Amino acid sequence: MNELLFATTNQGKRKELIALLGDKYKIILPNELGVDTDVEETGRTFAENSRIKAVTLGRLSGMMTVADDSGLEIDALNGAPGIYSARFGGHNTSYDEKFRLLMELLQDVPADKRTARFKCAITLYESEDKITVFEDKVEGLIAYERKGENGFGYDPIFYVPEFGKHMAELSPEIKNQISHRGKAVRKLAEYLLNIKKGAE
């Protein structure tokens, strides 16, 4: 089985990527290589930040490497927290605190204007001149209260109209079918399959 390094420190992302790709690739995590993954995210977009993480770890490890940069964009907040989703409200704030802050900021925003989306950019680093980005998103609404225990991050307050449920109420399988990450990873998987075929 081919190996793929996944440059992340986020446990939620790890679980989802392993569920999505783990039958085809042996997913290696940076801590298994003893590599420090605290890469500074200086980009202005999800794509730029995922590229920074994938390239940094790809160079360090010499392995085929993927990195995910993702986040929640809320229209009524002009796209915030966006690329700052993990650090929204401060580096060490809990999600309960983040949710409280968001509810405050959105208190005067009517239900139909609470539109939002999760976005995901996944960069694959194969070599210095082979770097590819795969992106996707999922649309939803910011709910008024948290619901559900599945998933991670902002999933408890993200309402998915198609299912009439919050993302954290959906099973991991359903989330992977519809999510920003699930869809971006399937684009990556298709690309990987084609390079594998080309090599045969």
3-state secondary structure of 80: coil
Q: Determine, following the binding rule CB under 6 A, whether residue 152 of this chain makes contact with ligand ITT.
A: yes
Q: Indicate which single residue of 68, 73, 136, 169 sits in contact with ligand ITT (rule: CB under 6 A).
A: 68
Q: To which H or E segment does residue 17 belong? A: helix 11-21
At position 200, the amino acid (one-letter code) is E
- Token pair of 186, please? 């399937």
Q: Determine, following the binding rule CB under 6 A, whether residue 9 of this chain makes contact with ligand ITT.
A: yes
What residues numbered 72-111 form the site for ligand ITT, per CB under 6 A? 72, 85-86
What residues numbered 38-67 form the site for ligand ITT, per CB under 6 A? 41
Q: Indicate which single residue of 4, 20, 65, 69 sits in contact with ligand ITT (rule: CB under 6 A).
A: 69
Q: Is 69 a catalytic residue?
A: yes
Q: Determine, following the binding rule CB under 6 A, whether residue 182 of this chain makes contact with ligand ITT.
A: no
| b/e burial code for range 126-141 (CB count within 10 A of at least 16 → b) | eeeeeebbbbbbbebb
Pairing of strands 3-6, 65-74: parallel
Chain contacts with ligand ITT (rule: CB under 6 A): 8-10, 13, 41, 68-72, 85-86, 118, 151-155, 179, 181
Active site residues: 69
